[in-house]
Structure 1
Amino acid sequence: MDIEDVLLEMVGSNLVLILLALFILFCILTGVRIVPQSQKFVVERFGRLRSVLGPGINLIVPFLDRVAHKISILERQLPSMNQDAITSDNVLVAVETSVFYRIIEPEKTVYRIRDVDAAISTTVAGIVRSEIGRMELDQVQANRSSLIDAVRTQVASQVDDWGIEVTRAEILDVNLDQATRNAMLQQLNAERARRAQVTEAEGQKRAVELQADANLYAAEQEAKARRVLADAEAYATQVVAVAIAENGLEAAQYQVALKQVEALNKMGAGTGNQTIVLPANAVEAFGDAFKMLRGAK
């Protein structure tokens, strides 16, 4: 055997080893699957579901198993949807909704539903129409949180067979047609006018009540003053009566003279020119009164 034959034999054996090494390396590469944290891989064997690979390093059988689907398990948001609904009091409303979901069982999603987004959108639309149809318009506006909870609960129960978890369902807006808006605006204006009239009437009623209380208080005070004055006059009369009983006619003349002097003082204290006409015997009477006053002092 010459040198050339030896070299050819060595090259041939080395080539086989190289090819074998490459084949083993290829099998290793095709049998090892590294799954990202945000995904799951669906593995099929001869067209049938074999397994679901989770995040990390996974092994499959080369040439027999293949990764048929790579499914993202991140939370997804459906585009905002608008659908019409009719309330129980026959008001047409346009409802804008948004749904967030994530795939938790890819094997169900892959083999049970073709278009996940369209299926969820249709389900949400039906549930929203059903729930709003049970409410009146005022309830839809006031109980939006309870409506959201009902939609989320029912959507979650219906999409469970698809391996989907509904994380959030939001009702972004509830719009009315122009005719309904105009009617509600008129109703709102009428309610505001009614409240203003009620407030004004209550204010007037309160003012009348306060005025009546003030008048009653003034009357009570005036009555009290009159009673005090009457008591004072009664007391003065009683004093005079006692004086007359004790001193006789002189006490009575003294009292009359005192009243006459007080009357003259009041007449003289007036403003302007005044003329006082007195009887002929008035001077003597006043003189006697002054004498009695001096005597009394």
Structure 2
Amino acid sequence: MSEELLLSLLTQNIIYILGAIFLMILIFKGIRIVPQSEKYVVERFGRLHAVLGPGINFIVPLLDAVAHKVSILERQLPNASQDAITKDNVLVQIDTSVFYRILEPEKTVYRIRDVDGAIATTVAGIVRAEIGKMDLDEVQSNRSQLIGQIQHLVESAVDDWGIEVTRAEILDVNLDQATRDAMLQQLNAERARRAQVTEAEGQKRAVELNADAELYAAEQIAKARRIQADAEAYATQVVAKAISDHGIEAAQYQVALKQVEALNALGAGEGKQTILVPANAIEAFGNAFNMLKGSGK
């Protein structure tokens, strides 16, 4: 075999090998494996052509190129502080933190250069605007509502950039020392006022309870007197009925009974007392004993 033939065969083999290598390079260039946490922005001749999602993707070698590799993981902006003035003219310092992620990288890479800076500026402006609509007490008490409003407004502002704001937080609301001292004085005054009100209400309640007790005692006394009067009236009624039914003898009988009871009471004494009776008392007692004897007592 001549040297020319060997050289020709060697040249053909080299061409085949180079062709195979070139074909392998084209295949390698046409395959793109995108990680789960990223998206690739593909350009063709300098213009947006496609967005590759996670997994195996194919592009046209030499025509298409991966221009941007964008992470779709959730990101956190550095904590920021901005001054704001409330509706009642109190200067406050608001510490905020924002979390976001990129949903449409083709919008993010072609519409905004500094994503973090743009979002931070937007958040600062919205926070100042919302704080200016509220009094200081409302800022302190309605923080969750304020956070929700800020997140909604930030989402609307960054929607054109293909960004989703997942969470916005107000970490702290700081006041200057003069404002803190004034609030502390107001708080102490409010506590003193509440203590005075509580004491006054206690005294008022004590007076009311005393009045209720006196009223109850008066009612009970009146009720007892009414019962006693009813009993006396009933007794009088019985005596009157007896007189009406039996005449004067019943009345004389009752008088004689009372006289005898009086004598028994005198006899039960210690014997040291001296009793003065009218001259006709003996005759009256005798009549009483006769009436009782006649009645079988």
TM-score category, normalised to shorter length:
0.7 to 0.9
Name the residue aligned to 2:248.
Answer: 246
Q: Does 1:257 align with 2:291?
A: no
* 1:85 maps to amino acid: A
Gaps of 5+ in 1: none
Question: C-alpha displacement at 1:110, in angstroms?
Answer: 1.3
Q: Which shows bigger deviation, 178-187 or 274-283?
A: 274-283
Question: C-alpha displacement at 1:275, in angstroms?
Answer: 5.2
Q: Does 1:47 align with 2:38?
A: no
CA distance in 2, matches of 1:77, 1:33: 29
In structure 2, the CA distance between the partners of 1:160 and 1:251, relative to structure 1 (3 Å rule), is same
CA RMSD of aligned residues (A): 3.1
Q: Is the 8 A contact 2:155 2:165 kept in 1?
A: yes
Question: C-alpha displacement at 1:235, in angstroms?
Answer: 4.1
Q: Does 1:277 align with 2:279?
A: no
Question: C-alpha displacement at 1:238, in angstroms?
Answer: 5.2
CA distance in 2, matches of 1:14, 1:215: 126
* 1:260 maps to amino acid: A
* 2:28 maps to amino acid: L
CA distance in 2, matches of 1:160, 1:249: 113
* 1:109 maps to amino acid: T
CA distance in 2, matches of 1:262, 1:18: 155
In structure 2, the CA distance between the partners of 1:63 and 1:234, relative to structure 1 (3 Å rule), is closer
* 1:172 maps to amino acid: L
* 1:180 maps to amino acid: T
Q: Which shows bigger deviation, 128-137 or 44-53?
A: 44-53
- Secondary structure of 1:159 counterpart: helix
Name the residue aligned to 1:73.
Answer: 72
Name the residue aligned to 2:115.
Answer: 116
- Secondary structure of 1:100 counterpart: strand
Question: C-alpha displacement at 1:57, in angstroms?
Answer: 2.6
In structure 2, the CA distance between the partners of 1:63 and 1:221, relative to structure 1 (3 Å rule), is same
* 1:138 maps to amino acid: D
Mapping for residues 216-227 of structure 1, pairs under 5 Å:
216-227=215-226
Question: C-alpha displacement at 1:41, in angstroms?
Answer: 1.3
**What per-residue deviation string (whole Å, max 9, x for no partner) do you get for residues 186-230 of structure 1?**
323332332333233223323322322222222122122222223
- Secondary structure of 1:23 counterpart: helix
Question: C-alpha displacement at 1:289, in angstroms?
Answer: 8.5
**What is the TM-score normalised by the length of structure 2?**
0.83
CA distance in 2, matches of 1:196, 1:234: 56
* 1:122 maps to amino acid: T
In structure 2, the CA distance between the partners of 1:77 and 1:259, relative to structure 1 (3 Å rule), is same
Name the residue aligned to 1:129.
Answer: 128
- Secondary structure of 2:24 counterpart: helix
Number of residue pairs aligned between Structure 1 and Structure 2: 291
- Secondary structure of 1:69 counterpart: strand
